[in-house]
Structure 1
Amino acid sequence: MKIIEILKQDRPTLSFEVFPPKTSNAYESVAHATQEIAALRPDFMSVTYGAGGGTSEHTVGIAADLHQTYGVESLAHLTCVSSTKEHVANMLGKFQARGIQNVLALRGDIPEGGTPATDYHYACELVRDIKKMGDFCVGGACYPEGHVEAANKTEDIRHLKEKVDAGCEFLTTQMFFDNNILYNFLYRIREQGITVPVVAGIMPVTNVKQIKRITTMSGTYLPQRFKAIVDRFGDNPDAMKQAGVIYATEQIIDLIANGVNHVHIYTMNKPEIAAGIQASLSEILK
């Protein structure tokens, strides 16, 4: 099933992200975690794609297993900044051969010390090529706080509109920890004629290292309420995990109460995190 068909249903949806291993030696452990998360029967699961396509074969394998073995619709990530058109066509051919219908089209990060390939500069170019090369449902990323490389939020939304006009059928947000940021973002993009479904990306922060990585990479705004949780429980791993799951769950409840029906959880390959959140939403998701 194409994910746009899932998102058009008049009900809340919950989906999870997993990421492939960097080496083949770790494949079995990741596959096992993926199977446990799939057993929760989410509406769909996304599978990330390493910088420069380093995990591309694992992305294909895991996404195909989700769909064919576990009966969960999959969304395969595909980045383009370090890819050639030939490589993209090759990957899409593998997706088609394995029955993968859904692709999240991303520019991706330029590898440290590397240079991007000349075939692609922006995600909208990748979206156009995917639509030409097969009958895929194509999603894209969006940034409620603005992309770090954009001059301002107005420019960022203009580029987002270009991506949607190129054929992007739904959007998944970067993580955020203050729902008001998302509500303001949705108002701004709707004003600019972006009407595709938006899936809210939620990151349950369960340890202090995650916080440092998040703030270093994306500069994501951390509300005072969230900082207080980290200050109080950051040195107690079990308490921090519990508090992180509860904070994320409360975010989701508020989103659904305010009409944001589609939520995607960045699980960090931790089945217990996915299960804890889903259990707390059992009645809300009915």
Structure 2
Amino acid sequence: MKTSEFFKQKTVLSLEVFPPKRTAPVDTIYKTLDELKGMTPDFISVTYGAGGSENSRATLEIASSIKHRYGIESVAHIPCLHLTKEDAAEILLQLKAHQIENILALRGDRIPDREPAGDFKYAADLVGFIRDHGDFNIIGACYPEGHQESGGLVRDIHNLKHKVDAGVSQLITQLFFDNGYFYRFRERLDLAGIRVPVEAGIMPVVNKKQIERMVSLCGVRLPKKFTSMMERYGDNPVAMRDAGIAYAVDQIVDLAAHGVDGIHLYTMNNPYIANKIHEAVFRLMAS
């Protein structure tokens, strides 16, 4: 089933997982999935990351298991910057063979010491390619605070409109910690004529190192409420974990009250945290 159909029925809840490190067997992810399936998410997306065909195989195996072993719709991430058209066509053939209908089309990060393949400069290029090579539901990423390389939010919205026009049917945001950015972003989308469902990406932060990495990679801004939480609980791992869960729950409750299309929870493969959040907001997500 195409995940874009879920938005016609309810507030959507989805999760993101990632393949284990290369030093671990791929089937170690199934313990995480066993503990997450009780949440009954509408779909689960599987990241790809850098690393070539080996990572592609892991993404495909996990996405296929989510759909066929767990009976949950799956979304496969495809970053295109380092793919040739031949690579992309082969991945699409494999997805078709495993009956995976949903793709998150991404530009992806640059791999150090490796030149981009040159066939796909932007995610919109991949979106058009996928649209022309099968009947897939194509999901796009978006950035409430603007992509770091976009040159500004106005330019970023313009690029997003191009991506949606190319064939994207739903959007998932990068993580954010101030809902105000999301609400203003949603208003800008409306003004730009972007009329597809938008899921808010929420990541529960449970330690200082995690947030430092996120700020460095994504450039997200931290509101005073969040930094006060970090200052008070950052040196107490259990208290910081619980505070991070509570902060994410507060975000989701507020988003639900403002009519969000859906919540996409970045689980970081941590079922305890994901389940605690789900327990707190289940009725909101079911309405």
Question: Which piece of structure 1 moves more, 152-161 or 46-55?
Answer: 46-55
Q: TM-score by structure 1 length?
A: 0.97
Flag structure 1 segments of 5+ consecutive residues without an equivalent: none
Per the TM alignment, residue 218 of structure 1 is displaced from its structure 2 partner at its CA by 1.4
Once residues 198 and 143 of structure 2 are traced to their aligned partners in structure 1, the CA distance between those partners, rounded to angstroms, is 11
Counterpart check, 1:267 vs 2:267:
yes
Question: Which piece of structure 1 moves more, 112-121 or 147-156?
Answer: 112-121
Once residues 103 and 285 of structure 1 are traced to their aligned partners in structure 2, the CA distance between those partners, rounded to angstroms, is 23
Tell me the residue number matched to 1:216. Answer: 216
Per the TM alignment, residue 215 of structure 1 is displaced from its structure 2 partner at its CA by 1.0
Q: TM-score by structure 2 length?
A: 0.97
Per the TM alignment, residue 23 of structure 1 is displaced from its structure 2 partner at its CA by 1.3
Tell me the residue number matched to 1:173. Answer: 173
Tell me the residue number matched to 1:195. Answer: 195
Task: Give a deviation string over 1:176-206, Cα, whole Å, max 9, x none.
Answer: 0000000000101110100111010001001
Contact 2:60/2:76 (CA < 8 Å) preserved in 1? yes
Map 1:114-125; keep pairs closer than 5 Å.
114-125=114-125
Contact 1:22/1:55 (CA < 8 Å) preserved in 2? no
Task: Give a deviation string over 1:229-256, Cα, whole Å, max 9, x none.
Answer: 1111111111111110110011000001
Contact 1:52/1:83 (CA < 8 Å) preserved in 2? no
Contact 1:52/1:82 (CA < 8 Å) preserved in 2? no
**One-letter identity of the residue aligned with 1:28:** D
Per the TM alignment, residue 283 of structure 1 is displaced from its structure 2 partner at its CA by 2.2
Residue 39 of structure 1 aligns to a residue whose secondary structure is helix
Per the TM alignment, residue 26 of structure 1 is displaced from its structure 2 partner at its CA by 3.5
Residue 147 of structure 1 aligns to a residue whose secondary structure is coil
Contact 1:147/1:156 (CA < 8 Å) preserved in 2? yes
Tell me the residue number matched to 1:243. Answer: 243
**One-letter identity of the residue aligned with 2:188:** R
Tell me the residue number matched to 1:20. Answer: 19
Where has structure 1 moved over 3 Å in runs of 4 or more?
none
Counterpart check, 1:50 vs 2:49:
yes
**One-letter identity of the residue aligned with 2:154:** T
Between Structure 1 and Structure 2, how many residues are aligned? 285
Once residues 212 and 282 of structure 1 are traced to their aligned partners in structure 2, the CA distance between those partners, rounded to angstroms, is 29
Tell me the residue number matched to 1:278. Answer: 278
Flag structure 2 segments of 5+ consecutive residues without an equivalent: none
